[in-house]
Structure 1
Amino acid sequence: MLPGVRPLLRAGRFSSALLSLLIVASACAVAQDEPAVIPNPAKIARAAGEFALGRATTIVAVGGDAEARGAAATLAEFFRKTRGLRLAVAAGEARDGEINLRRDASSASGAEGYRLEVTPRRIEVTAATRAGLFYGGITLWQLIAFSQPREAMTIPALSIDDAPRFAWRGLLLDSARHYQSPQFILKFLDAMAAHKLNVLHWHLTDDQAWRLEIRKYPRLTSVGAWRVPAGAGGRDIDPATGRPRLYGGYYSQETVRGIVAYAAARAITVVPEIEMPGHASAAIAAYPQLAAIAAPATRVPADWGIYDNVYSLEDSTFAFLEDVLAETIALFPGAYIHIGGDEVVKAQWLQSARSRALMRSLASDDPERLQTYFTQRIGRYLESRGRRAVGWDEVLAPGLPRSAVVMSWRGIDGGVAAAQAGHDVVMTPTSNTYFDYYQSQDTAREPLAIGGFLPLDTVYAYEPIPPALDSLQARHVLGTQGQIWTEYQRTPRNVEYMVFPRLVALSEVAWTPREQKDFADFRGRLAKHLARLAVIDVNYRRLTP
């Protein structure tokens, strides 16, 4: 029973009905005081008192450790941008009155876990890595009530022991169908970091655009990054030139390096996707000699759908792709390079004498074997450069390099088959992770979307480990990610609206122990969490009853 109630009850001063109301009201007050941390930590214990956070508070990198200093600097920037707090960063011994970040390589919390202790005297975050220290700091940021004035911020005393369930917790951002500014992407990375997500899968090339500067092949961006706007049909004519105005943009290598560094400071790895062998129309428009047919289209297509255009299987085309991948590898230091592999139409290969001869040499009359050959060759090249290929589940076939990672998007069967064959997998089924689907069945009140219906509770209910996998096979499930394809999301505000708060739900799927998930509890915490999204200027969809 709550403090103070039992003595009054003994004194006979409350009726049973009034007592019930008091207990409910008191319980609600306690619930309102509970930390609304998202994703929900593995272990949390409240204590007495609170820590007063003020302008004089310093973030201390204990012992001057370089990783702790890096985490401290990023957290200080995060607090400044989101709360207007300019916290100093220092190196030295842990001390009272400060936020102390301590890197301990022997920490039992794992590569991304942390321990957070808040007392009225001091705050300590302990972790084995910079990522863990940063995540502990993000939890600390969430513990500050956003209704508090900047001059009187407090953090409740507690201890948290926390670590993620999955190593891959991500989001695909499609910058090919519609271009987003570098400034938006940096803001988007902050929003991801606020939810302890650690992979930005950056979709940079497709039929409708090539967005990545490749210096050896400048036409990829001078031609491939520009098209007539989707649906315009060339009707918007520039009177100065007499030609349709073009839509587009691309990311210079300098810009990409800045984005990758910004992400890394927030414990986010950027995984680039260079689509192949299909979804190649923009590249072929720039360099028609890459096509499998003699007379390909020479304009970047404006509308959506699956196009027939594929890269040829000539050695010269593989030389081009290896050149592209070499420059890509130099820009993205992570272990993974996504090579697409989805929705490959084989018709143009069957028109090619070279492709038909290759099928004969492979002793096969199945054009699917040509894609296997293609994937094997690109996969071996990436392995030779110390990288792992990632592909959509169509790449799964005998002979796929063992290091390759499979993304299971057409349901879960591809992920099951890949894990049973010994491949690592990332579970991305349309049924639970495609954020380009409508959030309501009342579609007239929603932004235009590609179709489908994916409400918040369906995202939260997702379990990334399929029941068909045994415990050893389940270890191949690296994690999960959301997808925001942007055929119909032309503005950054629309992108945010489609992603949030569904990505918030998926962050808890990827981080929190399965047995601790509870949608009613999550929704209660989310109602408070929306104030944080507002502070970082995220255009989220409001909750509906």
Structure 2
Amino acid sequence: MPALRRDQALLPRPTRLSLRSGHFTLDTGTAVRTTPGAEAAADLLRDLLTPATGLPLPPSPSGDITLAVDPQLRGLGQEGYGLTVADRSVLLRAAHPTGLLRGVQTLRQLLPEQALFPTGGARRERWELPCTEITDVPHRPWRGLMIDVARHFHDAATLRRHIDLLALHKLNVLHLHLTDDQGWRMPVAAYPRLTTVGAHRAGTAHGTGSEDDHDGRPHGGAYTRADLTGLVAHAARLGVTVVPEIEMPGHVRAALAAYPHLGNHPDRALDVWTRWGVCDSVLGVHDGVLDFVHAVLDEVMDVFPAPYIHLGGDECPATEWEQSPAARARAAAEGLSGPAGLHGWLLAWAGAHLREHGRHPVAWAETGTALPPGFTAMSWREPAHAAEALRRGHDVVLTHHRTTYLDYAQDDRPGGPPAQPGPVVDLRTVHRGDPDPVTSAPGAGRVLGTQAQLWTEYAPTAADLDRLAYPRLCALADRAWTGPTPWPDFSRRLAAHTRRLNALGVRHHPLTAPPPRAAQTRTAPSA
């Protein structure tokens, strides 16, 4: 089979691509012309290419490469772009500056993979782009990756690198799972013990056994405010939005270890959990908890300008509320049918606070009916739940665990690395994805898009994140941007694309793997 041209190996695949003969040569005399609004994209182009290629790409009103923002362009939306590479010029156009950022990533992929080396590993005087014409518009507006930094802490430098990789693949959301039973990673000025106490645990679980079944090695870490604002700024330059998640009312053991009075047993001393799974400890529902939620969300909104804020919301046992006179009294005072209704009540209360500040609340949806009105649903248990949530008016991000959870094993070869118990989620499964749910109900919500989930019970290192994410995240990126593509086409492009991953030092899972045996039916891992 003949080798693919670089424009035939783009990932994700462009909406429309026309091959042309010839090539455009970049050299030390190549300059960049911009129109108003295109300056940030030109700066990004230089920042990405100059360190690797040695080409200065200076600004010039007569530059051979033109980056132009034209709001009159039709059909491109906020992220679409048009790219024409001729033998003497390059024209990248978009209706919005974000579209130019997507086109810059396409230009990177059109160059030889040596141009992706982060720091001058392949400097040369001439680089060639194949002549081509591309029109490219995303299939869905939400295309993301969730990284759980609560189960295992990953530092800001690791997250910056993953933001860079998201942008290369035209993924535009980094969802940060910042808090859970096993660790609280974001500083909150009014509650300093959240990170001085809640960010550190005595050990890490060997399995799902007793409290003492852990390795005995302390694990911890927290971000500074500067870390997080720096991540947000870095992501924004690349057209990536950082969506924070603060879990409530469940998955709060780390917060209760720091501040026991926020729970239903204020006199009980808890430690940061050393186990995986679902913990029975949940937030109380007294006024002090409401003040806490307000303060935390206010700080979250101050650090993260994202229009969406994730409130967790899943796996919340009602046992403590059922046993608490104060919780039963709150449920009665709010007109709820019982303590179990406090889950939706507290989420609705927190969501209303976000909406008052112009933000949209998001939560994990364990069914299609559990979330309060106005929430965006991340339906992870069953595809049918997404359809039901749409019918009830929720916007939906598709996160079905059998096609988007990258902590599941990629194959069932003996002696493979540890992974979440459950079905094999191989590359082809992620590429296939789930059909978009359809509903004709009046007032139905929208499918915003999809994202992959990287829960980190079995990913303590940066190398583990690479191995779990790639190449499966390439498959999700292709589907999220382009829509369904034929497997043979995708697999050919991916084989060529791995040279880019290698140039960037991505320690990906090998492409060749045995076909999975029949998947077992098991409960999905905790969110």
Kindly indicate whether residue 362 of structure 2 is the aligned counterpart of residue 390 of structure 1. yes
Task: Look up the match of 2:24.
Answer: 51
Work out the CA distance in 1 between the residues paired with 2:494 and 2:189: 45
Kindly indicate whether residue 76 of structure 2 is the aligned counterpart of residue 105 of structure 1. no
Contact 2:419 2:458 in 1 (8 A): yes
Kindly indicate whether residue 49 of structure 2 is the aligned counterpart of residue 79 of structure 1. yes
Tell me the CA shift for residue 216 of structure 1: 1.1
The superposition leaves residues 475-525 of structure 1 with CA deviations (integer Å, 9 ceiling, x where unpaired) of 6000000000001111010111000000000001101044xx111111001
Which of 213, 238, 259 is 2:231 aligned to?
A: 259
Work out the CA distance in 2 between the residues paired with 1:296 and 1:415: 39
Work out the CA distance in 2 between the residues paired with 1:323 and 1:412: 35
Please report the RMSD computed on the Cα atoms of aligned residues, expressed in angstroms.
2.2
| 3-state SS of 2:151 partner | coil
Tell me the CA shift for residue 100 of structure 1: 1.4
Work out the CA distance in 1 between the residues paired with 2:165 and 2:463: 13
Work out the CA distance in 2 between the residues paired with 1:498 and 1:73: 32
State the one-letter code of the partner of 2:496.
Answer: K
Task: Look up the match of 1:437.
Answer: 408
Work out the CA distance in 1 between the residues paired with 2:113 and 2:335: 66
Under a length normalisation based on structure 1, what TM-score does the superposition of the two structures give?
0.87
Kindly indicate whether residue 428 of structure 2 is the aligned counterpart of residue 457 of structure 1. yes
Task: Look up the match of 1:508.
Answer: 478
CA 396–275 in structure 1, closer or farther in 2 if over 3 Å, else same: farther
Work out the CA distance in 1 between the residues paired with 2:417 and 2:329: 51
- Residue pairs, 1:273-292, within 5 angstroms: 273-292=245-264
Tell me the CA shift for residue 34 of structure 1: 5.3
| 3-state SS of 2:18 partner | strand
CA 373–33 in structure 1, closer or farther in 2 if over 3 Å, else same: closer
Work out the CA distance in 1 between the residues paired with 2:277 and 2:213: 21
CA 187–301 in structure 1, closer or farther in 2 if over 3 Å, else same: same
State the one-letter code of the partner of 1:421.
Answer: R
Computing the radius of gyration over CA atoms, which structure comes out larger, 1 or 2? 1
Contact 2:55 2:125 in 1 (8 A): no
| 3-state SS of 1:88 partner | coil
Tell me the CA shift for residue 450 of structure 1: 4.2
Kindly indicate whether residue 388 of structure 2 is the aligned counterpart of residue 422 of structure 1. no
| 3-state SS of 1:124 partner | strand
Tell me the CA shift for residue 390 of structure 1: 0.2
Task: Look up the match of 1:227.
Answer: 201
Task: Look up the match of 2:517.
Answer: none
Which of 189, 197, 200 is 1:215 aligned to?
A: 189
- Residue pairs, 1:74-223, within 5 angstroms: 74-81=44-51, 83-90=52-59, 93=61, 95=62, 98-108=64-74, 109-146=76-113, 150-223=124-197
Tell me the CA shift for residue 331 of structure 1: 0.4
Tell me the CA shift for residue 360 of structure 1: 2.4
Contact 1:117 1:123 in 2 (8 A): yes
| 3-state SS of 2:276 partner | coil
Identity fraction in percent: 37
Which of 453, 463, 468 is 1:493 aligned to?
A: 463
Which of 336, 340, 354 is 2:326 aligned to?
A: 354
Tell me the CA shift for residue 534 of structure 1: 1.2
The superposition leaves residues 209-247 of structure 1 with CA deviations (integer Å, 9 ceiling, x where unpaired) of 00001111100000000111203788999xxxxxx7632
Work out the CA distance in 2 between the residues paired with 1:162 and 1:419: 28
- Residue pairs, 1:321-340, within 5 angstroms: 321-340=293-312
Task: Look up the match of 1:15.
Answer: none
Work out the CA distance in 2 between the residues paired with 1:325 and 1:281: 18
| 3-state SS of 2:415 partner | helix
Which of 469, 482, 488 is 1:520 aligned to?
A: 488
| 3-state SS of 1:49 partner | strand
The superposition leaves residues 175-212 of structure 1 with CA deviations (integer Å, 9 ceiling, x where unpaired) of 01111111111111111110000000000000000000
Contact 1:193 1:266 in 2 (8 A): yes
Contact 1:118 1:124 in 2 (8 A): yes
Work out the CA distance in 2 between the residues paired with 1:513 and 1:473: 25
Contact 1:61 1:89 in 2 (8 A): no
Task: Look up the match of 2:451.
Answer: 481
Contact 2:204 2:214 in 1 (8 A): no
Contact 1:465 1:474 in 2 (8 A): no
Task: Look up the match of 2:518.
Answer: none
CA 249–416 in structure 1, closer or farther in 2 if over 3 Å, else same: same
Under a length normalisation based on structure 2, what TM-score does the superposition of the two structures give?
0.90
| 3-state SS of 1:329 partner | helix
Work out the CA distance in 1 between the residues paired with 2:431 and 2:371: 35
Task: Look up the match of 1:539.
Answer: 507
Work out the CA distance in 2 between the residues paired with 1:474 and 1:509: 23
| 3-state SS of 1:102 partner | strand
Task: Look up the match of 1:247.
Answer: 219
Task: Look up the match of 1:446.
Answer: 417
- Residue pairs, 1:404-423, within 5 angstroms: 404-423=375-394
Work out the CA distance in 1 between the residues paired with 2:407 and 2:171: 19
| 3-state SS of 2:329 partner | helix
| 3-state SS of 1:121 partner | coil
Residues matched between the structures, number: 501
Tell me the CA shift for residue 129 of structure 1: 1.7
Tell me the CA shift for residue 418 of structure 1: 1.3
Higher helix share goes to which structure? 1
The superposition leaves residues 254-275 of structure 1 with CA deviations (integer Å, 9 ceiling, x where unpaired) of 1100000000101000000000
Tell me the CA shift for residue 68 of structure 1: 1.1
Unaligned runs of 5+ residues in structure 2 are: 116-121, 514-527
Contact 1:396 1:418 in 2 (8 A): yes
- Residue pairs, 1:9-24, within 5 angstroms: none
Task: Look up the match of 2:14.
Answer: 41
Work out the CA distance in 2 between the residues paired with 1:430 and 1:448: 14
Work out the CA distance in 2 between the residues paired with 1:73 and 1:278: 43
| 3-state SS of 2:279 partner | coil
Task: Look up the match of 2:34.
Answer: 61
CA 394–377 in structure 1, closer or farther in 2 if over 3 Å, else same: farther
CA 442–313 in structure 1, closer or farther in 2 if over 3 Å, else same: same
Contact 2:367 2:381 in 1 (8 A): no
